[in-house]
Amino acid sequence: MQAFTRHQGPGTSGTGSDVLVVGGGIIGLVTAWRAARRGLRTAVADPDPGGGAARVAAGMLAAVTELHYGEETLLGLNLASAERYPAFVAELEAASGQDTGYRACGTLAVALDADDRALLRELHALQQRSGLTSEWLTGRECRRLEPMLAPGVRGGLRVDGDHQIDPRRLAAALVTACERAGVVFHRAWAERLTVVRDRAVGAVLAGGLALTADQVVLAGGSLSGRLGGVPDEVRPPVRPVKGQVLRLSVPRPYAPFLSRTVRAVVRGSQVYLVPRANGELVVGATSEELGWDTSVTAGGVYGLLRDAHDLVPGITELPLVETRAGLRPGSPDNAPLLGPTALPGLHLATGHFRNGVLLTPITGEVMATVLATGELPEEARPFTPRRFPPGVRTAPAVPAGTSAATPAATSAATSAASECQEQPA
């Protein structure tokens, strides 16, 4: 192994722990909670635990309808995590005393024209070859399930196993569960990894507080690669992929507007509508390679509303209550990086791209196992960070005349705000 630069952590010495998780988004929180449940003294460094991506993501648990060509290996991990969700939710809600908004409502993917139908037929064939359960429906059958669909719907796929959860409630429950399990929160940015004698031994926070730990988990979403002090040989190759999302409310006279998640490809653009039990309707999402830009644009909002209107015309009668944008952490192969790196003491839990919320249960399980035993579980071995050559990067696309840095994106920016994991799909 190559020699790594050693850093002395300036500032006040902090309390030591068995595990320090850098990043308090959903992935960092579930890692911390599971590690603490294993008896490990665990700390989390993040200025706003449970914020960031959880405020943006739609929460689709779409292992089947999110299948893409070339991602069959990732499919296995997605399915394994989806199977764990009911038990995971029950355990988390019992531990936190909070509702997570989990709904076993299923998903309907529809086609609006002949080209869309051809694409959906190809997806159905891929699902069948992969041994997945989905049912092809006629347009009339789709409208019978969801009467608000446009009359021109040409067909669709009914997937009863793709469900949803509310990421905001999930994140809040994880924060509470962590606190009750004894996790210590340091509400500050992590600025630099501390490396001593070729081993990660903690991190220095904004303000100079030095935290020590036997093991460090970098779980900072799209900004994981920007933490200072991480040697280039093990720096995670993640990039930001922007997603804009809308939230509408369904007034009581219009309820129930939709009974399940509905998604479609409209003129080549993907759109989804996720109805919450509380009357919220999430509409998303754009997919933009724009570096660290998280602005909500008129074009993004217009495109989402236009496509959603084509899918469900009645949506224009609903109040628009929120617009947001966040960053998905993309990796070179669209799959997460889980487990130990070539630098002893440093682990990664990042790069979940559009599947972060779906992969929350299995990520927590995998990371707790490797932290407690040193062994990476078999189902996670295809996703080891070591599968990429040292120094491989996924360069973000940055528009001319702009900077790759955000106001908070010093090398420290590894908080929940960086962790727009699951989509905004």
Nearest to 20 by CA among 226, 208, 219, 181: 219
How far apart are alpha carbons 280 and 319 in whole angstroms? 10
Report how far apart, in Å, the C-alpha atoms of 201 and of each of 204, 214, 341, 345, 405 are: 10, 6, 14, 7, 27
CA separation for the pair 110, 294 (Å, rounded): 29
Q: What dihedral angle (degrees, nearest 10) is formed by the CA atoms of 369, 350, 63, 396? A: -160
Cα 164 from Cα 159, distance rounded (Å): 12
Q: What gap in Å lies between CA 145 and CA 85, rounded to an integer?
A: 25
Amino acid (one-letter) located at 6:
R
Quote the pLDDT of residue 55. 85
pLDDT value at residue 15 = 60
- 42-45/13-22 β-pairing: parallel
Containing H/E element for 59?
none
Q: CA-CA distance, 258 to 149, in Å (whole number)?
A: 9
| DSSP one-letter code for 319 | P
Backbone dihedral angles phi then psi of residue 320, each to the nearest 5 degrees: -90, 120
pLDDT of residue 305: 97
Give the pLDDT of residue 394.
61
pLDDT score recorded for residue 392: 74
Nearest to 416 by CA among 237, 201, 175, 231: 175
36 torsion bin: left (phi>0), alpha (psi -120 to 50), beta (else):
alpha
CA 409 to each of CA 43, 86, 115, 241, 291: distance values in angstroms, whole numbers, following the listed order: 22, 36, 41, 15, 11
Rounded to a whole number of angstroms, the CA Rg of the chain reads 21
How do 210-218 and 200-205 pair as beta strands? Answer: antiparallel
Per-residue pLDDT of the chain (425 residues; tens, 9 = 90+): 333 333 333 333 446 999 999 999 999 999 999 999 999 999 999 999 998 777 899 999 999 999 988 888 999 999 999 999 999 999 999 999 999 999 999 999 999 989 999 999 999 999 999 999 999 999 999 999 999 999 999 999 999 999 999 999 999 999 999 999 999 999 999 999 999 999 999 999 999 999 999 999 999 999 899 999 999 999 999 999 999 999 999 999 888 899 999 999 888 788 999 999 999 999 999 999 999 999 999 999 999 999 999 999 999 999 999 999 999 999 999 999 999 999 999 999 999 999 999 999 999 999 999 999 999 999 999 999 999 988 776 643 333 222 222 223 333 333 333 333 333 44
Cβ–Cβ under 8 Å, residues 131 and 23? no
For residues 394 and 174, give the distance between their C-alpha atoms in angstroms, rounded to a whole number.
30
Euclidean distance between CA atoms 392 and 255, whole angstroms: 49
What is d(CA 413, CA 23) in angstroms, rounded to the nearest whole number? 9
